[in-house]
Structure 1
Amino acid sequence: MNVAVIGLGAMGMGAAKSCLRAGLATTGCDLRDSARADFVAAGGAACASPAEIPQGTEAVLLLVVNAAQTEAALFGEAGCAGRMAPGGVVISSATMSPDDARRLAAAAEARGLLYLDAPVSGGAAKAASGEMTVMASGSAAAFERAQPVLDAVASKVWRLGDTPGIGATVKVVHQLLAGVHIAVAAEAMALGIRAGADPRQLYDVVTSAAGNSWMFENRMARVLEGDDAPRSAVDIFVKDLGLVAEMARGLNHPVPLASQAQQLFTAASAMGHGRADDGFVIRVWQALTGIPLPGDKPKG
């Protein structure tokens, strides 16, 4: 199967290399020279524009930032839709609103393409090992055509329905939980530090007790080490919690915790930390209270 992966970022690179390991003829597409060189060194082919993917590509996996980038990569002036094989499948994995997923699916289907609404979770590590979780909805034909790619990149594929938009809905709800969990993890760690608790002991206690969460254990470990390299950046949750608010408004449904968490991520971004790892939303509390963070180097 000829596959193109659009977006060789933290998750896209891992997914593209997983496709290679599975024996799929894979082209990686990214604007960055360094990303393309990395993928070529792994044995893949690479291009800088979606319009340059091989003619007759049977499946395109899009791991870009949002709906706008997905639309441009598919249907823009430099889009790839015209280079796909008739009946090829678009596997759309950017986090977006359900309305955008349905709109893009209709545009793909009008061009004779199948469309799988297939957002993902698992981060860079799971992408690299081919063990992402996929939350997918689409026709049986779309699932069947996408199966070799799904087998390569995921350990769990949820079949959530036969119409696009359901996958996006579940992903938005998932991001509500993820964003709130990260924000409250940072709040708890900041409070403990302010009150004089040893942050490493606090981490050890919480991760062995009922108050633990996956996000506390994962993100606060990075805070303890001062490791703010972005596996998932602060700005991702500015965007994704905005999608939560947008979906909730359309349903006249209150989401007060998600809204507060979005404001905290927005504050961290406004302070210049938008590209830092999302656990470093804790910088908001540091700025407000002056707390030291254990991984920060002493000044002077």
Structure 2
Amino acid sequence: MKTAFIGLGSMGGGAALSALRAGLDVTGVDPSERARAAFGNRAVARGSDLDPGQDAVVVLTVNAAQAEAALFGPEGAAQRVAPGGVVVCSATMAPADARRLAAEAASRGLLYLDAPVSGGAAAAREGRMTVMASGSDAAFAAAKPVLDAIAGKIWSLGSEPGQGAAMKVVHQLLAGVHIAAAAEAMALALRSGLDPHTVYGVVTSAAGNSWMFENRMAHVLVGDDTPLSAGDIFVKDLGLVEGMAREAALPVPLAAQALQLFVAQRALGHGGRDDAFVLRVWQALAGFALPGEPGGAEPVKPGPK
């Protein structure tokens, strides 16, 4: 099955490698020469550079605008997809954008699966992402070999594009709030003189733990702000939460506060760094040292992320 993966970042690159291991005929697409080199398989800079007759195109870009350009722009991949092929769009976007892209795909004779993903870089590399998808039975059937290769759990959320996108926005409300809460807890611990490694051990063995605390505060303990998921991503995603909530006439005060914290991370010049380091917002206010910084705890030895 000829399959293109557009976007070879921490999630897209891992998912593409999972598909390659599963035996799919995979070509990566990314404008970054570094990302293409890291993929280590066939990779091109633009969708229009793909071989014709692609059976599936998986889109793992940052947002709807990038997805639209990568698929339907002058150098987009849609022109290289075989008639009746499937677009699996995994970018996080508003439901209205998912419906609009699905309509454009249909006008070109292509199937469309609205299929956001979650699970982190490790899950992508191991082919066990969670996929929250909506689309026609035909789109699900066409995408099945790809989904089986990259996903540990596939949720079918309905027949209409937009439902998968809505589910991902709801998920990102939780993810953003949990990261902000984890950072706030670690900030209080550091300000109070507690050892961050001990704090991490206690929390991850007790009822206050969350997946985000365990995953993201591990980055802090290593002292590594390499952006596996940048703070700016949550400026975008929590903005989508607020937009969807406004349309639903539903207040989301926790999401709104978390959004402002990630905006503050950006204002401090760290929006492009790892989202765990929204912790630097509190650091700027209170002046404590993080692991690996002068006066801070010794960082732990880096491990797999």
Q: What TM-score do you get using the length of structure 1 for normalisation?
A: 0.96
Determine the C-alpha separation between the residues in 2 that align with 1:38 and 1:265: 29
Determine the C-alpha separation between the residues in 2 that align with 1:256 and 1:295: 34
Map of 2:7 onto structure 1: 7
Map of 1:22 onto structure 2: 22
Pick the aligned partner of 1:192 from 161, 168, 189. Answer: 189
Map of 1:169 onto structure 2: 166
Determine the C-alpha separation between the residues in 2 that align with 1:83 and 1:126: 29
Map of 1:274 onto structure 2: 271
Check if 1:68 corresponds to 2:45.
no
Determine the C-alpha separation between the residues in 1 that align with 2:149 and 2:201: 36
Map of 2:199 onto structure 1: 202
How far off its partner does 1:214 sit? 1.1
How far off its partner does 1:298 sit? 5.2
Check if 1:125 corresponds to 2:104.
no
Give the letter aligned to residue 108 of structure 1.
A
How many percent of aligned residue pairs carry the same amino acid?
Answer: 67
Q: Which moved more, 1:165-174 or 1:216-225?
A: 216-225
Alignment of 1:209-228 (within 5 A): 209-228=206-225
Pick the aligned partner of 1:236 from 228, 233, 236. Answer: 233
How far off its partner does 1:294 sit? 2.1
Give the letter aligned to residue 234 of structure 1.
G
Q: What do residues 84-131 of structure 1 show as CA deviations (whole Å, max 9, x unaligned)?
A: 100000000000000100110011011110000000001111111111
Give the letter aligned to residue 28 of structure 1.
G
**Contact kept in structure 1, 2:96 and 2:162, CA below 8 Å:** yes
Give the letter aligned to residue 8 of structure 1.
L
Q: What do residues 109-165 of structure 1 show as CA deviations (whole Å, max 9, x unaligned)?
A: 111100000000011111111111100000000000000100111111101111101
Determine the C-alpha separation between the residues in 1 that align with 2:236 and 2:283: 23
Pick the aligned partner of 2:281 from 284, 290, 294. Answer: 284
Alpha-carbon RMSD across the aligned residues, in angstroms, is 1.2
How far off its partner does 1:296 sit? 2.0
**Contact kept in structure 1, 2:231 and 2:270, CA below 8 Å:** yes
Determine the C-alpha separation between the residues in 1 that align with 2:4 and 2:189: 47
Determine the C-alpha separation between the residues in 2 that align with 1:272 and 1:70: 26
Give the letter aligned to residue 191 of structure 2.
R
Q: What TM-score do you get using the length of structure 2 for normalisation?
A: 0.95
Determine the C-alpha separation between the residues in 2 that align with 1:204 and 1:295: 18
Give the letter aligned to residue 46 of structure 1.
A
Map of 2:303 onto structure 1: none
Structure 1: which 5+ residue stretches go unaligned?
none
Determine the C-alpha separation between the residues in 1 that align with 2:222 and 2:27: 36
Q: What do residues 219-238 of structure 1 show as CA deviations (whole Å, max 9, x unaligned)?
A: 11211221111111101111
Map of 1:98 onto structure 2: 95
**Contact kept in structure 1, 2:289 and 2:295, CA below 8 Å:** no
How far off its partner does 1:81 sit? 1.0
Determine the C-alpha separation between the residues in 1 that align with 2:197 and 2:169: 32
Check if 1:263 corresponds to 2:260.
yes
How far off its partner does 1:83 sit? 1.4
How far off its partner does 1:297 sit? 4.1
Pick the aligned partner of 1:48 from 39, 45, 50. Answer: 45
The total of aligned residue pairs comes to: 296
**Contact kept in structure 1, 2:265 and 2:281, CA below 8 Å:** yes
Determine the C-alpha separation between the residues in 2 that align with 1:239 and 1:51: 28
Aligned with 2:268: secondary structure?
helix
Q: What do residues 242-283 of structure 1 show as CA deviations (whole Å, max 9, x unaligned)?
A: 000010011111000000000000100111111211110000
Pick the aligned partner of 2:155 from 158, 164, 171. Answer: 158
